Structure 1
Amino acid sequence: MDLEALRREYSLTGLDREDLADSPFDQFEQWFKQALDAKFSNDPSAMTVATVSHDGQPSQRMVLLKHFDERGFVFYTNLESRKARELKDNPKVCLHLPWHPLERQVIVYGEATQLSAAEATRYFMSRPKDSQIAAWASHQSQKVKSRQLLEQAFEQMKNKFKSGDIPLPSFWGGFRVVPNHIEFWQGRRNRLHDRFMYSRRGAQQWEVERLQP
């Protein structure tokens, strides 16, 4: 299939240095709220997490951003999944949040640190019960012969935890990505997009530079 003629123009708005907050976290919060207000058909908290294996093979997958503040960006996962195993070997990670209706994207470069059991438990207990059961039933990233076997495992766990609180699995938790660079990208006409990179220069110090598109 030839896609060379498939193109669009980006013309919603621009981005100048004076538009940006001094803190990338304040800027991210501003853009995230605007993404929420845009009433996406998909979830604006959906983001790509890119990791690299011990032999240098990159891999990506979509997860949901569950918290952000000046400490970093948080997501949760099975700790025996491919992403978690790769992060333990190599904590360097890249996050990508595409907000197409706003012609924007944010890219986060940093290192992942595992959350404490207390932090993971607090979030796990807030999840719907069926989601908690699914966490117990699924050995994420492992092979399974059929959908039926997966559903059987779910029903078994549902029966096991039919009464009382469901405990946090020992193999389930979360990661906080502590950024060292954060890029804010705004589409512009003629592919002359606006790109600004925040680079950490200290515990609370950030340098902002314009990048060529």
Structure 2
Amino acid sequence: MTDNQDFTAAEDPFDLFRTWLADAEKSEPCDPEAMALATADSSGLPNVRMILLKGADERGFVFYTNCESAKGGELAANAKAALLFFWKSLGRQIRVRGLIEPVTDAEADAYFATRHPQSRIGAWASKQSRPLESRAVLEKAVARYTAEFEGREIARPDYWRGFRVRPVEIEFWQNGDYRLHDRIVFRRTEPDAPWTKTRLNP
């Protein structure tokens, strides 16, 4: 399902997402799972940053973060988000909008255990998004936690958690000549409701 005609005939957005991600894994030079995450604070002011997708299935799209970070605070204030995947090598993008729900502690623990030990130490050492006096302060914190966890399992900090975007809208866009792109969007009224599909003007 790699040409425009086939993709616009797709009936299941998650099947199509998996196909496009697999294509991107073959063509993108690095981080094909990179995505932009857009959130909004309690006043409605939006914010966006690049993060990495860490899981995707019919339940939604999973990522992990420090809950005390800017994005963590915004997700607590407004449990809705949007995602954007863009693969320049393929001329494709996918836009997702939906509701946020936390993953289970078991899911978060299982993923945290797969991270490189230094990345797990970093989760303890970094007070993400908050002011940092100097790089030396961060390096000192890394050294402290490295010594603290020497010879034992590096547990997941309670504030380091996962979130799932439960989509209510997924749009697929394929670049076309002369800006005559192909676009289809799947929408539903709430997570777990049936999808409807619409073809859009470019």
1:162 matches 2:150? yes
1:140 is aligned to 128
Superposition pairs for residues 104-143 of structure 1, below 5 Å? 104-143=92-131
Alpha-carbon distance in 1 for matches of 2:136, 2:95: 38
Alpha-carbon distance in 2 for matches of 1:92, 1:211: 24
- Label 1:18 to 1:145 Cα distance change in 2 as closer, same or farther (>3 A): closer
TM-score (norm 2): 0.94
Alpha-carbon distance in 1 for matches of 2:13, 2:116: 32
2:199 is aligned to 210
Deviation of 1:17 after TM superposition, in Å, equals 6.5
1:36 is aligned to 25
Secondary structure of the structure 2 residue equivalent to 1:16 = helix
Instruction: Decide whether the 8 Å contact of 1:49 with 1:96 is kept in 2.
Output: yes
Given candidates 78, 81, 98, the residue that maps to 2:69 is 81
Alpha-carbon distance in 2 for matches of 1:17, 1:149: 54
- Label 1:178 to 1:150 Cα distance change in 2 as closer, same or farther (>3 A): same
Alpha-carbon distance in 1 for matches of 2:9, 2:19: 10
Secondary structure of the structure 1 residue equivalent to 2:114 = coil
2:51 is aligned to 63
Deviation of 1:20 after TM superposition, in Å, equals 3.6
Mind listing any 5+ residue stretches in structure 2 that lack a counterpart? Answer: none
Given candidates 12, 21, 24, the residue that maps to 1:23 is 12
Identity %, equivalent residues = 44
Alpha-carbon distance in 2 for matches of 1:211, 1:154: 50
Secondary structure of the structure 2 residue equivalent to 1:143 = coil
Counterpart amino acid of residue 207 in structure 1: T
Counterpart amino acid of residue 133 in structure 1: I
Instruction: Decide whether the 8 Å contact of 2:63 with 2:162 is kept in 1.
Output: yes
Counterpart amino acid of residue 158 in structure 1: T
The count of residues paired between Structure 1 and Structure 2 equals 200
Mind listing any 5+ residue stretches in structure 1 that lack a counterpart? Answer: 1-12
Alpha-carbon distance in 2 for matches of 1:160, 1:83: 28
Alpha-carbon distance in 2 for matches of 1:35, 1:205: 27
1:48 matches 2:40? no
Instruction: Decide whether the 8 Å contact of 1:20 with 1:27 is kept in 2.
Output: no
1:192 matches 2:180? yes
1:9 is aligned to none
Alpha-carbon distance in 2 for matches of 1:182, 1:173: 24
Deviation of 1:16 after TM superposition, in Å, equals 3.1
Alpha-carbon distance in 2 for matches of 1:14, 1:110: 27
Return the structure number with greater relative CO, CA threshold 8 A, min gap 6. Answer: 1
Instruction: Decide whether the 8 Å contact of 1:201 with 1:207 is kept in 2.
Output: no
Counterpart amino acid of residue 22 in structure 1: E
- Label 1:145 to 1:48 Cα distance change in 2 as closer, same or farther (>3 A): same
Question: Cα RMSD (Å) of the superposition?
Answer: 1.5
Alpha-carbon distance in 1 for matches of 2:61, 2:4: 23
